Amino acid sequence: MKCLKCGEEIKPNDKMKFCPFCGSSYPKKKQCPSCKEEIDEKAKFCPYCGYSSNKDKALGVSVGDSVVKGKIVGGSEYNIFNQGESKIVTKTGEYCKTCGSLLKDNYFKCMKCNDLHCTNCRDSENKGLCEGCGNVLKERQQKIEKERQQKIEKERQQKIEKKRQQKIEKKRQQKIEQQKIEQQKIEKEKREKEKPSNLYSLRKTPITISEDGNYKQEFGLNNNNKPFNYINNEYKDNKNGTITDNATGLIWQKSGSKGYIIYNDAKAYIKSLNNSRFAGQNDWRLPTIPELISLLEPSKKSNDLYINPVFDKNQSSLWSSDQASSGRAWYVDFLNGEVYWNNVVHDNYVRGVRCRQ
């Protein structure tokens, strides 16, 4: 039989006075005339079937009724009645909501639907739920897990796609950069082709030649000290105080010294141009006679000089870097379009020149 307090199975023994499991007193038993179960001889009702010899209701339950968690549900078979920590077997007429079998002593109440079910219909994973509610819960959990996996997969695919797009963009940028480099190369080659080659190669190294020697042959002058041949200049104003002659590849000052200066001061003037990096350059020098002759025009221009009006008209005569006899240097007179020598203590203007890189 079962202990009335803890519900543990106890083997009947006339000498036993206490429950060996919970220590509660072990009363003497008698047989219920209705259900034939052994009950306390002092009990006023049968805890299994609710029978009362005095025809009174025990705890509000009559014969044929049953109690589940303190509520009368009625019935004719066995049921479990929870009273505190103890379990009392009573009768019930309920059927399992899942399989339809008559509920006896092995049943439970589903925590979700609150219906009674036999223990055979209990969910294997969620003991407090019936199979139906357990399956619903599993389906919901599976759905949630499926959605979670789909979300994870979607994020993974998005990362893969992002990396793919980044790789494509990187290749695109590399292609653009390569095209840019190739285009720059093409443009450079084009500029090199379009870059005018110097039609005239002029001496840029100073020499010393006597005014009594063969200077006319050296400088290409006639008997009037004017050049035999003139250059077809191709001037370009660089808008920075300089003029480029594409025919010779020389870059000239547009003007020059503001006044007449002696030869030694002419060298100092060129030095000052380099120190101040005139037009952003520091390789200015005094021109040679052939270089100055390249500026001469065969006839006077609108500035009343034998030089293109693109240049400043104030510099009417220019020192060269070529020397004559001791104490003398060569210069070009643009008032007459001729080449002469002069004493280094006399005055002329200065116009710096440099070669195009």
Supply the CATH number for residue 221's domain.
Answer: 3.10.100
Residue 291 forms part of a structural domain? yes
| Residues facing 91 on adjacent strands | 78
Quick one: which H or E segment has residue 174? helix 131-194
- Residue 90, pLDDT > 50, answer no
Count of C-beta atoms within a 10 Å radius of residue 331: 24
Residues 350 and 221 in one domain: yes
Bin 195: left if φ > 0, else alpha if -120 < ψ < 50, else beta: beta
Residue 159 forms part of a structural domain? no
Q: Which residue has the higher pLDDT, 61 or 27?
A: 27
Which one of 94, 125, 159 terminates a domain? 94
- Residue 189, pLDDT > 90, answer no
Q: How far apart are CA 133 and CA 154, in angstroms?
A: 31
Q: What is the per-residue pLDDT for 195?
A: 59
Number of H helices, E strands in the chain: 4, 15
Q: How far apart are CA 57 and CA 51, in angstroms?
A: 8
Residue 306 forms part of a structural domain? yes
Print the domain residue range for 320.
215-355
Which one of 35, 69, 94 terminates a domain? 94
Q: How far apart are CA 204 and CA 199, in angstroms?
A: 15
Question: Contact 298/305 with Cβ under 8 angstroms?
Answer: no
Q: Which residue has the higher pLDDT, 87 or 337?
A: 337
Strands (E), the chain: 29-31, 38-40, 67-68, 71-72, 77-83, 86-92, 107-109, 116-118, 235-237, 242-245, 250-253, 317-323, 328-333, 338-343, 353-355
Residue 314 forms part of a structural domain? yes
The whole-model pTM stands at: 0.48
**Confidence band of 19 (pLDDT split at 50, 70, 90):** confident
3-class DSSP state of 246: coil
Q: What is the per-residue pLDDT for 14?
A: 59
**Confidence band of 261 (pLDDT split at 50, 70, 90):** very high
- Residue 284, pLDDT > 60, answer yes
| Residues facing 77 on adjacent strands | 92
- Contacts by 77-85 with C-beta closer than 8 Å and gap 24+? 77/102, 77/103, 77/104, 78/48, 78/104, 78/105, 79/103, 79/104, 79/105, 79/107, 80/105, 80/107, 81/47, 85/5, 85/6
Which one of 94, 129, 160 terminates a domain? 94
Domain count, the chain: 2
In the structure encoding, which two tokens stand for residue 64, read together?
Answer: 């044929």
**Confidence band of 58 (pLDDT split at 50, 70, 90):** very low
User: Who's near 219: CB < 8 A, 6+ residues apart?
Assistant: 227, 289, 290, 293, 339
pLDDT in tens, 214-243: 899 999 999 999 999 999 999 999 999 999
Question: What value does the mean pLDDT take over residues 68-77?
Answer: 34
Q: Which residue has the higher pLDDT, 298 or 195?
A: 298
User: Who's near 90: CB < 8 A, 6+ residues apart?
Assistant: 47, 48, 49, 50, 61, 65, 66, 67, 75, 78, 79, 80, 81
Which residue matches tokens 């994870």? 152
Residue 234 forms part of a structural domain? yes
Residues 89 and 220 in one domain: no
| Residues facing 61 on adjacent strands | 58
Residue 196 forms part of a structural domain? no
Residue 261 forms part of a structural domain? yes
Lowest mean pLDDT among 92-101, 178-187, 193-202: 193-202
Residue 284 forms part of a structural domain? yes
